[in-house]
Amino acid sequence: MEERVVQRNTDPPATVHFHAERIHRTNGFWYYLTREGANVGPFRTKDSAKKHLDEFLGSGEQLATKQSTQ
């Protein structure tokens, strides 16, 4: 697995963030991990967890865009 360096627009240029696998399975259920370290779930399927993670990430991008235009 190749590591990707991910940097937000609001990060100082010297700050480096590494992308890690956010979706994991525990006790038969699927969860995703937020940047803040919170486990969100449980979900019955990995696809369901991924869908919710994509929605969560999309809502954060929309919020950041909205805040930067105000």
The pLDDT value given to residue 68: 40
33, exposed or middle or buried, with CB in 10 Å at 0-12, 13-18, 19+? middle
Domain count, the chain: 1
The pLDDT value given to residue 29: 96
Tens digit of each residue's pLDDT (9 = 90 or more) over 3-61: 666 667 777 766 555 556 889 999 999 999 988 889 999 999 999 999 999 898 887 65
Predicted confidence band at 65 (pLDDT cuts at 50, 70, 90)?
very low
Range of the structural domain that residue 33 is part of: 5-68
